[in-house]
Structure 1
Amino acid sequence: MKKIINDPKTVVAESLRGLAAAHADVLRVEDDPAIVVRVDAPVAGKVAVISGGGSGHEPLHGGFVGQGMLAAAVPGAVFTSPTPDAVEAAVKATTGDAGALLIVKNYTGDVLNFETAGELAAAEGLDVRSVVIDDDVAVKDSTYTAGRRGVGGTVLLEKITGAAAERGDTLDAVEALARKVIGQVRSIGVALTAPTVPHAGEPSFDLADDEIEFGIGIHGEPGIERTAVTTADELVARMVEAVVTDLPFAEGDKVLLFTNSMGGTPLVELYLAHGIAERLLAERGIVVERRLVGPYITSLEMQGMSLTLLKLDDELTELWDAPVNTPALRWGV
């Protein structure tokens, strides 16, 4: 294992210190328990949108803390859910009379721990709601989940709900918007290599040089099928087919296309794949109105990619375009 680390036990803590040093104008990091908080939190009169999960997916979630997105992020150990006390600390640090919305990826540990934290916060008089995102079309169940996994759509959900909170929407409205996004977003991922978790010291699964894992999750779990290496045209066509037919998306739909690197895929390959996906969607009469390309929800150094499609309407487009100022996303400010 070759990684730029000191000790596997301190990777997350040291990384968070670096995040805080690099972006002190946007966020702050609190220790014991570790949370990443918007620098001006709590913001009076505004819903606090909070998310989190295991580390190793950077910039998710800490890189999306700031104006127009998350009020706080709760990092667990690498590929490990954060504890309820950490989630509760994030709620207390950011939540006022307007309440809080917890965005939870559909992994068993995340769901249980965020639910427990929400109950603890509610017992102290805070209005806290939760939504669970499950946009992965690859599986109905996996080792890590009861039902579909929460993957690339999480980034889009955090941006759109964060924008709604920023403009002053009520908690009821932000929650309803979140459920709307969850109902209209779908994703699929593939891997060319497996990630290596620092404390494990070896790849999460074995993959030969001439193999691709189709339908992977973001925690290093294997996919639903192992296939031979193929051309980008063939691979992206299969990914687009899996996503489009699941909702299903139809001719005339306006969408946001998110082409995501799993951490180790260079942009030259990612843009190549994105171009193919745009062409294939256009051939189906699906209109790509907004795009996001890059490593925004990763799996350590995994070589691979995911495609996410969100069906847009005027409100979702307006909220996507709204100003955002975070370490990983910034426009309009």
Structure 2
Amino acid sequence: MSMNLITLLYLIASVSFIQALKGLSHPTTSRRGNLFGMIGMAIAVVTTVFLVFKLGAQLAESASAWSGLGFIVLGLLVGGSIGTLMAKRVEMTKMPELVAFMHSMIGLAAVFIAIAAVLEPQSLGIVQAIGYPIPAGNRLELFLGAAIGAITFSGSVIAFGKLSGKYKFRLFQGAPVVFANQHKLNLAVGVAILVLGLIYTFSGNFTAFMILVVLAFVIGVLIIIPIGGADMPVVVSMLNSYSGWAAAGIGFSLNNSMLIIAGSLVGSSGAILSYIMCKAMNRSFFNVILGG
């Protein structure tokens, strides 16, 4: 499969995603929207598998490329089977918590990809060979993708627990969790993440990168626990937006147009939906984003 064909298929998948969003905007066209979304994702997944094999064949022997492709196919089968089973068993009233769980997986995937890119940039085509430094622009993209992905994961886990209502763990209960100087702590952690991100961007310090990822996991919890169960639908929509921006950030690092387009669509549509829901529920959009 040539790069021109791969680019064309990614474009077709992108158009399918746009049609999916258009279809999901009204109940009468929602089935068609879901169909477009499934077609677009199927095209994107198959095209990415061929792209990975093509790049792997260029970087290593053919046997190694086939071995790597086997791991990818295995991951697709395992993940697809689990997702199908969960979707078939879930009740419609439990759909928001399933969506929160899916968002958490997207965020965690973004974190893992960013860490892999930082450790082995040559294997993902970010640099030409081992020993070459990652360009500052790519380091900025990896910092943003990893930080947003970590916030999405930990925040979605808390949202899942609050929506489920099954767990006795205090952070998973519907009532808000508040304590003294909570917003000051959130601000301090947020500033620390930003400073560490800039340190990594300009110096490439791996320790700074890992610390900011850990702090991003922490602040993901801190900004969700003070929000009550009644506002969880808005939070899930907001986390949906975060997962899109995380995917887009990683897409820039990997030079993958499909991730950039799909992530931007999810990020922007999720942000708009969150704003609309906040207005309908008489909530402040920025208060929800900043943790109640």
Name the TM-score, length of structure 1 as normaliser.
0.26
Rg larger in structure = 2
Which protein has the bigger strand share?
A: 1
Name the TM-score, length of structure 2 as normaliser.
0.29
Which protein has the bigger helix share?
A: 2
